[in-house]
């Protein structure tokens, strides 16, 4: 049953505004450097690269001798942040390691998480720096790796719940990984969270009954936005988007229009996943087998 949105309007509008404002907090300047986890506090100096008073703080430790970054430490700055970081620590411990998921160097549940430093920042950073859409071949390569991460997460029984360009990190070799598991959940999804622009239709219902498909939807929205638009696809399709109610209406009816000249195989892949009826969408594994990837095995 679709929500009337009346009782939830204030909360939802706040979520929408937070999502819009959060983009300004993402760092846009990174160094390409190797990891080094053996350094002591006497050898390093911290530098804040991201701060959100509601949630967490990310500090990069730099070598005083070389001036290069060594690793990132995420710490909580509030009670809400402690809960989010604790959830992320537990999820990362449950998941373990995978080549397409952020590499954890040290995990202290409830205190901090030490992560590999990814020198080129986020997919959002790359997108902003390009001042326009990214090459389709590059987006295809990124999407393939994130889908592999989602296939692995499904095997672990974990739903990420906040797949978005700001939560995908790129290293100095232009290889991408899925990061930020603060909203991750083990089992069925019963409430919406994360970034509204990347929510699937079922996340706009009063009672959310969803699972792994929400992550696949979010990945395809991310890929479509990065390859075809200068901003999130929904804000492009609805230029005067006033709030989450209107956003929900567009998402529930799959009200998007792709630019003229869009690669037809790419368009078919998008349509196969962005289907309002979740039982008709491709899973992560099925999406990887689509001609969008199979016809470009090396791309």
List the chain residues with pLDDT less than 50.
1-43
Does residue 163 contact residue 133 with C-beta atoms inside 8 Å?
no
Q: What CATH code would you report for 31-115? A: 3.30.200.20
pLDDT at 294: 86
pLDDT tens, position by position, 225-275: 999 987 788 877 776 667 778 888 888 888 888 999 999 999 999 999 999
Q: Please tell me the pTM assigned to this model.
A: 0.80
**Contact present, 112 and 85 (Cβ < 8 Å):** yes
Domain ranges of the chain: 31-115, 123-294
User: Distance (Å, rounded) from C-alpha 188 to C-alpha 231?
Assistant: 30
CATH topology of domain 123-294: Transferase(Phosphotransferase); domain 1 (1.10.510)
Please state the φ and ψ torsions of residue 45, each to the nearest 5 degrees.
Answer: -135, 140
Q: Is the dihedral of CA 190, 194, 197, 200 positive or negative?
A: negative
Instruction: Please give the backbone phi and psi of residue 103, each rounded to the nearest 5 degrees, phi first.
Output: -85, 120
Give the span between the Cα atoms of 23 and 19, in whole angstroms.
7
So what's the pLDDT on residue 21? 36
pLDDT of residue 144: 98
- Report pLDDT for 73: 82
């Amino acid at each position: 049953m679709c929500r009337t949105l009346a009782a939830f309007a204030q909360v939802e509008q706040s979520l929408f505004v937070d999502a819009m404002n959060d983009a300004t907090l993402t760092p846009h300047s990174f160094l390409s450097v190797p990891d080094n986890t053996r350094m002591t506090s006497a050898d390093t100096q911290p530098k804040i690269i991201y701060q959100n008073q509601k949630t967490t703080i990310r500090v990069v430790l730099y070598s005083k001798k070389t001036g290069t970054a060594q690793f990132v430490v995420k710490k909580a700055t509030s009670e809400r942040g402690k809960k989010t970081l604790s959830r992320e620590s537990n999820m990362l411990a449950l998941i373990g390691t995978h080549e397409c998921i952020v590499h954890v160097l040290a995990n202290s549940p409830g205190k901090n998480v030490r992560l590999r430093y990814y020198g080129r920042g986020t997919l959002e950073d790359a997108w902003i720096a390009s001042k326009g859409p990214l090459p389709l071949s590059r987006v295809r390569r990124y999407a393939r790796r994130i889908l592999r991460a989602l296939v692995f997460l499904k095997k672990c029984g974990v739903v990420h719940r906040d797949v978005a360009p700001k939560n995908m990190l790129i290293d100095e070799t232009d290889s991408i990984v899925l990061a930020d598991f603060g909203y991750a959940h083990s089992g069925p999804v019963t409430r919406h969270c994360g970034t509204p622009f990347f929510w699937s239709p079922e996340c706009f219902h009063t009672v959310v009954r969803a699972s792994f498909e929400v992550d696949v939807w979010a990945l395809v929205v991310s890929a479509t936005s990065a390859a075809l638009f200068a901003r999130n696809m929904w804000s492009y399709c609805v230029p005067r988007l006033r709030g989450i109610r209107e956003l929900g209406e567009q998402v529930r009816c799959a009200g998007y229009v792709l630019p003229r000249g869009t690669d037809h195989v790419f368009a078919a892949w998008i349509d196969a996943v962005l289907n309002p009826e979740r039982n008709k969408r491709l899973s992560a594994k099925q999406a990887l087998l689509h001609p969008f990837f199979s016809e470009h095995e090396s791309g």
